Amino acid sequence: MLTVMWVAPLVVALLLVPVTRREVLLGAWIVLALLEAVLAGVAWAGVGTGYAHEVVVPWIPAFGVGYHLGLDGLSAPLVAMTTVVFLAVALYSLRADPAQDGDTDPRRTRGWVLLFLGLEAVSVGVFVALDLVLFFVFFDVAIVLMYFVIAGWGSGERARSALQFFLYTFVGSLVMLLGFLALAVSGPALTFDIPTLAARPLGGTAGTLALVAIGVGLAIKTPVWPVHTWLPPAHTDAPAAGSAVLAAVLLKMGTYGFVRIALPLLPGPWRSVALVAVVLGVVSVLWGALVALAQRDLKRMIAYTSVNHMGYVLLALGAAGFLTAGPAARGLAVTGATVQMVSHGLVTAALFLLAGVLRERGGTSEIGAWSGIAGPMPRFSWTFAVAAFASLGLPGLSGFVAEFSMIAGSLAAVPVAAALSALGLAVTAALFVRALQSMLLGDRHLPRRAERVPPRTGTFRRPAPVDLRVAQTVAVGLLLAGSLAIGVAPALVTSTIAPAAATVVDLVSR
């Protein structure tokens, strides 16, 4: 089943290569995305103890590389979140110009669809891979595909932003590969198999150096302060759908790598650097929130909140390395970190899609360019408000479940850091409430869009505020429904995550 899930998008992409009709391209993509979401749910239902739906086949046996896939309580929710995000992006792309630049050339639409099908394939692959080389291949291909999304369909300084994104993350992945090689050669037999390496953890100086290499690559992808500088320009210049996938899925490849690889395979070294992880997490939380508060562009603001939210994840995982805290508290921290990955994916994808609606309507996502739109754009306003409240951690939504679990789980190990990180919640609340008040309330004000009406007359008009279209409403609503479900019934995800988190805590304690 897991092989089908990552191969199916590639098969559909190959079948669509000769197709030029936009309706067929987008229709096939939506059907595939829906089937992927259904398969993810079926696969999740089969998860118990250990790895479910496991596939083990020799790939390059001479180098200890195997085709090893599996699903557990850590990866199943992330695979499900990934498929839901891609389904939402496919629905969102039904609007008139998926490239956001008014270019309706069918070849452009085909390239758009093929890139996102490829991204879905490798994204699912990252979360089900149980071999380090397989993980690395999926990880790197995702970087290449996202580069073309930003460079080909972005706006502003898209070429520069795409190149910066590629160089940062690709160099980081190469450094990470050095750590993988150190792990593979550390035992009597050369192997890149993650469960096998977890059974023979690497410690000492070699383990610390391997962790530093792996940690640098994962930290850049997450990203955490101070290696986050590629993120704001990439999000600002990327198309809305690209920003949604970048924030919701690609960033989670970094945090997931910490949980799947760094903690269980390098337990001793992780405990030795746990305080460093905690400090970087707290700085990311506060820095991301404060810099987001200073932003005037909605997309840049959301980008910096991603640094803030991923900082909580690093804080919680760092706290899991302190053996002075009980296993229950540390398990709660890891559980909260995983819930945060899912919650951030759903909520931030919704926020970026909504920011894309503003750029599509008025040509800008500057917060000050929009005011009083609650009346003429009610669907946009309600969905944006719900997404903002979910991001700031309002009870009843997924953000609260994640942040409460992470802070509560970290208190026993690092009380001062947990208390400081709670300040980030107040700043995040302030920046989202400010955006809501500025954009939705007050006198109606819209940006002046450079549209000549009629052509060549030299006159301009303000665009009529068009609310979310049906497909866009469904896309954003699907993401927010997931956040609401987790907020109202957290056991939907925590009952699956908690046993796997307890296993990670046991492995770190060795």
Q: Show pLDDT as tens, one digit a residue, over the chain (510 residues).
A: 899 999 999 999 999 999 888 889 999 999 999 999 999 999 999 888 889 999 999 898 888 899 999 999 999 999 999 999 999 999 998 865 444 444 456 668 888 999 999 999 999 999 999 999 999 999 999 999 999 999 988 887 888 989 999 998 999 999 999 999 999 998 788 999 999 999 888 888 899 999 999 999 999 988 898 888 888 888 888 899 999 999 999 999 999 999 999 999 999 999 999 999 999 999 999 999 999 998 888 999 999 999 999 999 999 999 999 988 889 999 999 999 999 999 999 999 999 999 988 888 777 888 888 888 888 888 999 999 999 999 988 999 999 999 999 999 999 889 999 999 999 999 999 999 999 988 888 777 777 653 333 444 444 444 455 778 888 999 999 999 999 999 999 999 999 999 999 999 999 987
What are the backbone angles phi and psi of residue 58, rounded to the nearest 5°?
Answer: -60, 140
Q: Are 500 and 72 contacting, i.e. CB atoms less than 8 angstroms apart?
A: yes
Closest CA to 309 of 406, 218, 447, 234: 406
CB < 8 Å & 24+ apart, contacts of 321-328: 321/263, 321/270, 321/271, 321/273, 321/274, 321/277, 321/508, 322/271, 322/274, 322/413, 322/414, 323/271, 323/509, 324/412, 324/413, 325/412, 325/413, 326/412, 327/502, 327/505, 327/506, 327/509
pLDDT at position 281 is 94
Helix, coil or strand: residue 176: helix
Q: Which helix (H) or strand (E) holds 297?
A: none
Strand partners for 52: 71
Cross-strand partners of 131? 193
Phi-psi region of 202 (alpha: psi -120 to 50; beta: other; left: phi over 0): beta
**3-class secondary structure for 202-257?**
CCHHHHHHHHHHHHHHHHHHCCCCCCCCCHHHHHHHCCHHHHHHHHHHHHHHHHHH
Of 63, 184, 94, nearest to 132 by C-alpha is 184
Q: Which two tokens stand for residue 357?
A: 């609606």
Residue 457 is predicted with a pLDDT of: 44
Asked if 255 and 284 touch (Cβ cutoff 8 Å), the reply is no
Rounded Cα distance between 362 and 208, Å, is 51
Q: How far apart, in whole angstroms, are the C-alpha atoms of residue 346 and residue 390?
A: 10
* 8-state DSSP, 189: S
C-alpha 269/C-alpha 162 separation (Å) is 34
Alpha helix ranges (H) inside 364-446: 378-392, 398-411, 415-440
Please tell me the distance from the alpha carbon of residue 401 to that of residue 124, in angstroms, as a whole number: 25
CA dist., res. 128 & res. 67, Å (int): 11
> What does the angle CA 76 – CA 392 – CA 44 come to, to the nearest 5 degrees?
10
Q: How many alpha carbons lie under 13 Å from residue 113 in its C-beta half-sphere?
A: 36
The closest of 31, 137, 28, 87 to 245, measured between CA atoms, is: 87
Measure the CA–CA gap between 66 and 68, rounded to whole angstroms: 6
